Structure 1
Amino acid sequence: MNYTQEHVDMAADELFFADFKDRLGKKMREDKTLRKSVGKKFRSMDEVIDYYKSKYTFRKNS
């Protein structure tokens, strides 16, 4: 198999944000203050993930 850096970056994004979503969900269930803060800025967990994907990614802008 011939993987390019783009393939590696895409896989890294998928793994990172899947883990991020799980961890953030757990923290939000446990921390009422965090849950309120996130709830004020975002309507859904998908919106949170989309926001962070736009700010932090392994992919380079081409």
Structure 2
Amino acid sequence: MKLSILATLAIAATILMGCGSVQKPTVEVANHDSDHNIPAIDQMIVEMKQAYIEKCYLPVANRKPPENACQSELFQTLERRYHLDYNQNHVAMASNDLFFKDIDAELRKMLRSDPEIRQAARNGGFKNVGEMLAYYKDKYKFDTQLEQY
């Protein structure tokens, strides 16, 4: 009798602990057709996204108080949109907006300063920086279809 009660409590505790957990987003280099393959841009985006996940996304998704400007900006965006009733999908949607503002700035800087990247972008069939940003935003967006418990 006591053993079954303990087992039931252990199962209930495990379920409750699993329900509140945040799924860490994964980052990997996207697959491209040969025209859009620019490894330097992929590397920059992957490195920036890994840093963003650790420094901004996860602390806010875990509802820790903001400790830096990135976390504050993400938290304020979530608070404006969803008040304090936000979930991980909301964090992902807001992160897609905020993270890609930083990518836009870095992408423009790379295109201005590196002739090889500028040439690869032209050869890749991108008409302008906006089209290039939209392409990479689609390839590296945060998953907004996470299961919520």
TM-score exceeds 0.5: yes
Aligned residues: 62
Structure with bigger gyration radius: 2
Structure with greater proportional helix content: 1
Matches of 1:7 and 1:61 in 2, distance apart? Answer: 10
Instruction: Provide structure 2 residue ranges, at least 5 long, that are not aligned to the other structure.
Output: 1-83
Report the TM-score, using the length of structure 1 for normalisation.
0.84
Report the TM-score, using the length of structure 2 for normalisation.
0.39
Deviation for aligned residue 1:59: 2.3
Matches of 1:60 and 1:3 in 2, distance apart? Answer: 13
CA offsets 1:19-39 (integer angstroms, 9 cap, x no match): 011001011111111111112
Question: Are 2:96 and 1:13 aligned?
Answer: yes
Matches of 1:24 and 1:7 in 2, distance apart? Answer: 25
- Over the matched positions of the two proteins, sequence identity in percent amounts to 37
Q: Which has the bigger relative contact order, CA under 8 A and spacing at least 6? A: 1
Query: What amino acid is the match of 1:39?
Result: R
Matches of 2:134 and 2:102 in 1, distance apart? Answer: 14
Calculate the aligned-residue CA RMSD, in Å: 1.6
Query: What amino acid is the match of 1:18?
Result: K
Question: Are 2:128 and 1:44 aligned?
Answer: yes
CA offsets 1:3-58 (integer angstroms, 9 cap, x no match): 12121001111111110110010111111111111122211111111111221111
Corresponding residue for residue 137 of structure 2 = 53
